[in-house]
Chain A
Amino acid sequence: MVPEKFIDRLEDVVGSDDLIYNSRVTEVYSTDASPYSGRAVAVVRPENPEEVSEILKLANHHSVPVVPRGAGSGTSGGAVPRNAVVIDMKKMDGIEVYQDDMIVFSEAGAILHDIKRSLCKFDLFIPPEPGSLRIATAGGFVANNGSGKRGLKYGSVRNFVAGINAVLPDGKIVRITYRTHRSPGINHQVFVGSEGALGVITGIYLRAIPIPEEKKTYLIPLKNTTEIEKSLKRILKVLPDAVEYIDSKSSSALGYGEEEFIAVEVFGDDRYAERVIDSLGGISIESQEEKRFWERRETLGAEIAKKGSRVYAGEDFAVPFSRLSDFIEKIKDVERETGSEIFVYGHLDTCNLHPAIVSESFEDSMRAAGRLADTALKMGATVGEHGVALRWEFLKGLDVYRRLKYCLDQKNILNPGKFGL
């Protein structure tokens, strides 16, 4: 139980309007987009780094666990508390664009789509774009080292983090302020991908690049899955900007017929890329059709829920390139064995697949998810971009994390229970 005194002091820090305690509604903050749920003992909403610092000092003093929360769109349970106080960051949502530096400073709670819109006014953008663009916060995305499409050429969001302001578990405020397109990474990069366990990110300096004058999208049909590696090798050679896989089920859900296909995005007027894609039978889609395709791709994972009980059961696997078609075949086996429907799509340029499970019930979905995880592990796959959190069986090098964690958070108050610790 959390001491009453602690709650009173929390109220002194954020005021009663930004504290929820002793109410059923804390259940909303006890889960995220994953199948996991825990228990939030209270929810607080700080408005600035100083308040975050006061909250952490109190939590540290009273040894009360705390969990930073963005939009709760994570699918690995990262924001799921276990008898912890939830620090909801969404009130801290300021955005400032430094146009000439091509840098945007975003507070942790700003929504990615709002950042995109602010940058767009200056003809700038940040290439990694998750399907949850309109949902996720900058803090959550960076804490998960999220990615999305465009992973091959641009990498994950880590590559775009120039600096970070954060509060350490003992309440110390650190400001690692770089407005440059290169910066020493040893300090601020610690927080990227730390999934809320090493510090509470309050603000992020992100690198942006100019929006290309022109971009094109091509759809390349696949006759069968075994062709995929061969085609992919040729596609990757032209260094396209995004390469996405859509299996036949997802294709029909998107309204693109029954054939599986690869979608390729190319910035600029690249004749060589066009020739290669053409030789693979690719066709280009334009203007409204192109916009519609990417928008629907963005929500494909949720869209298929029309077909049954949809659970985001940790369906994010980075697979060795050599095992790609093999893995897709094995997913089909799991589908046959469990009776669940599994829609496969994902970012082919990083071989990061999202087999999305739809079944009759929650239990069936979880059974299929377990089988998928076992299969993935056997194939040397790991977590791609949705975070490890409660799927710690995929994490290697735990010793390094354990030591880091001990250095920064001796009382283990920040997001405990994640990564298996």
Chain B
Amino acid sequence: MLGSEEYTKSREIWSLNCAKCGKCIQICPTYKVTRWEHLSPRGRLILSPYVEDDRELVKSIFSCLTCGICEQVCPSNVEITEIIEKKRGEYAKQTILPERHVRLLNNMVEKGNPYGDDIETMEIDGEVDVIYYPGCTSLAREREIFESTVKILKSMGVSFGIEFMYCCGSTSLRIGGDLSYAERNYRRLREVVERTKAKTLLVNCPGCYRTVKKDYEKFGGLGVRIMHITEFLSENAEMLRLRKDGIRVSFHDSCHLARHMGIVKEPRRVLSMVSEIVEPEQHGMESFCCGGGGGVRVSYRELTREVRKVRIEQFRRTNADVVVTSCPYCYRNLKNGADGLIIKDLTSFIAERLEE
């Protein structure tokens, strides 16, 4: 016999293939800033069998940034973010949600986007090579990203059109909402692809990128090459005419772009055309979240602030002149807590350096 039976009841966590080794704990941003184990990956997995209206339990599940760094270190390949996202869906079905998440999902119902704004729609007339889908944040909140992207594409002589009718559905998916928003946009984009005969669909936002490229596969795919703007610029670098100014730039990899989608080299290739790159201690696949992901900024702002502080400090130590990112959401979040650092989205940074 091994110990007393009283202690050895079977637990659902075993079926998730988690060995409970704890290797994922220290690396998790929400654990790092709180040191509460229930706000760590292992803690979240231990709590994953439950759907209950318990404030700390709900916080445990909904405060995950879905940054995925835990999956990077987990020796057992546990699909932690997927398990958490599925769990969020079960909470949402029972309408057990943090208060502000409810508002966000209502925004989706009422306005079709997480901001609850009336975002202008744009349609493409005729045929184009590239469909540019800017996404909600670039259009409704960080407009300079949208404008810079248009400027860059024009300067490159790309045949493109702008399409925006609906939100891609990413936010809803990441916080446990239903698939319908993603499906609606999928249908719309499919129709646009067929009508415009485009070969490429271009996005600014890594959230859109992951959703359109990965999640839309569930519906059958779009039949077009989906590219993040950094991928597109890197691949067509010879069409970019840029002024080199030799300033020191540090790049913030968005979790969705780097870890979830594997885009790491491309933004660096583009940036190195104009400046020197200095890396923060965590970068590339090991990048540290800005604190804004997974809907956490909506309901757990204090966590966002603390995680962001850690990230900002990592950049401060690089002594870079500018911190560049290529995610409208990371940009927005880092900018709000920049504490004296200059933060830029890659598109604006490049647009400012286009040869006239």
Does A71 interact with chain B (Cβ within 8 Å)?
Answer: yes
Other-chain contact of B19, A24, A91, A311 (Cβ < 8 Å)? A311
Q: Which of under 10, 10 to 19, 20 to 34, or 35 or more describes the interface residues of B?
A: 35 or more
Does B121 interact with chain A (Cβ within 8 Å)?
Answer: no
Are B38 and A25 in contact (CB-based, < 8 A)? yes
Given the complex of chains A and B, what is the CA–CA distance between A34 and B55 in angstroms? Answer: 27
Given the complex of chains A and B, what is the CA–CA distance between A28 and B28 in angstroms? Answer: 16
Are B23 and A299 in contact (CB-based, < 8 A)? yes
A305 partner residues in chain B, CB cutoff 8 A: 17-19, 21, 75-76
- Most chain-B CB neighbours within 10 Å: which of A35, A90, A134, A311? A35
Q: Which segment of B42-50, B207-215, B324-332 sits at the interface? A: B42-50
Please count how many residues in chain A sit with their CB below 8 Å of the partner chain's CB atoms: 53
B8 partner residues in chain A, CB cutoff 8 A: 35-37, 366
Are A373 and B11 in contact (CB-based, < 8 A)? no
B118-134 residues with Cβ-Cβ distance < 8 A to A are none
A301 partner residues in chain B, CB cutoff 8 A: 19, 21
Q: Which segment of A54-62, A72-80, A228-236, A395-403 sits at the interface? A: A72-80
Nearest Cβ distance between residue A383 and chain B, in whole angstroms? 12
Given the complex of chains A and B, what is the CA–CA distance between A312 and B11 in angstroms? Answer: 13
A370 partner residues in chain B, CB cutoff 8 A: 1-2
Are B19 and A33 in contact (CB-based, < 8 A)? yes
Other-chain contact of A24, B3, B9, B52 (Cβ < 8 Å)? B52
Given the complex of chains A and B, what is the CA–CA distance between A306 and B4 in angstroms? Answer: 28
Are B37 and A135 in contact (CB-based, < 8 A)? no
Are A135 and B75 in contact (CB-based, < 8 A)? no
B4 partner residues in chain A, CB cutoff 8 A: 390
Are A24 and B35 in contact (CB-based, < 8 A)? no
Does B95 interact with chain A (Cβ within 8 Å)?
Answer: no
Nearest Cβ distance between residue A39 and chain B, in whole angstroms? 10
Does B57 interact with chain A (Cβ within 8 Å)?
Answer: yes
Are A72 and B56 in contact (CB-based, < 8 A)? no
With A28-B43, A306-B76, A310-B76 already in contact, the answer to whether A135 and B3 are too (CB < 8 A) is no
Does B22 interact with chain A (Cβ within 8 Å)?
Answer: yes
With A23-B55, A302-B75, A306-B77 already in contact, the answer to whether A28 and B19 are too (CB < 8 A) is no
Nearest Cβ distance between residue A94 and chain B, in whole angstroms? 13
Given the complex of chains A and B, what is the CA–CA distance between A391 and B4 in angstroms? Answer: 9
Does B20 interact with chain A (Cβ within 8 Å)?
Answer: yes
B1-35 residues with Cβ-Cβ distance < 8 A to A are 1-4, 6-11, 14-15, 17-23, 25-26, 35
Q: Mark A39-54, 1 if CB is under 8 A from B, else 0.
A: 0000001000000000
Does B54 interact with chain A (Cβ within 8 Å)?
Answer: yes
Other-chain contact of B25, A24, A71, A314 (Cβ < 8 Å)? A71
Are B20 and A32 in contact (CB-based, < 8 A)? yes
A333-375 residues with Cβ-Cβ distance < 8 A to B are 361-363, 366, 369-370, 373
Are B76 and A37 in contact (CB-based, < 8 A)? no
Given the complex of chains A and B, what is the CA–CA distance between A297 and B14 in angstroms? Answer: 23
A16-35 residues with Cβ-Cβ distance < 8 A to B are 20, 23-25, 27-29, 31-35
Does A189 interact with chain B (Cβ within 8 Å)?
Answer: no
- Most chain-B CB neighbours within 10 Å: which of A111, A134, A361? A134
Chain A minimum-CB-distance residue to B46: A28
A393 partner residues in chain B, CB cutoff 8 A: 1
Chain B minimum-CB-distance residue to A69: B37
Other-chain contact of B7, A27, A37, A91, A113 (Cβ < 8 Å)? A37
A314 partner residues in chain B, CB cutoff 8 A: 2-3
Does A269 interact with chain B (Cβ within 8 Å)?
Answer: no
B56 partner residues in chain A, CB cutoff 8 A: 20, 23-25
- Most chain-B CB neighbours within 10 Å: which of A90, A132, A363? A90
Given the complex of chains A and B, what is the CA–CA distance between A23 and B58 in angstroms? Answer: 10
Does A88 interact with chain B (Cβ within 8 Å)?
Answer: yes
Given the complex of chains A and B, what is the CA–CA distance between A302 and B75 in angstroms? Answer: 6
Does B113 interact with chain A (Cβ within 8 Å)?
Answer: no
Are B7 and A390 in contact (CB-based, < 8 A)? yes
- Most chain-A CB neighbours within 10 Å: which of B2, B52, B54? B2
With A24-B56, A306-B77 already in contact, the answer to whether A362 and B21 are too (CB < 8 A) is no
Interface residues of A (CB under 8 A from B): 20, 23-25, 27-29, 31-38, 45, 71-73, 77, 80, 82, 88, 90-91, 111, 113, 132, 134-135, 299, 301-303, 305-306, 308-314, 361-363, 366, 369-370, 373, 390-391, 393
- Can you add 12 more A-B contacts, CB < 8 Å, to A28-B42, A113-B26, A303-B75? A23-B54, A28-B37, A28-B38, A33-B20, A111-B26, A132-B22, A302-B75, A306-B17, A309-B17, A312-B19, A362-B11, A391-B2
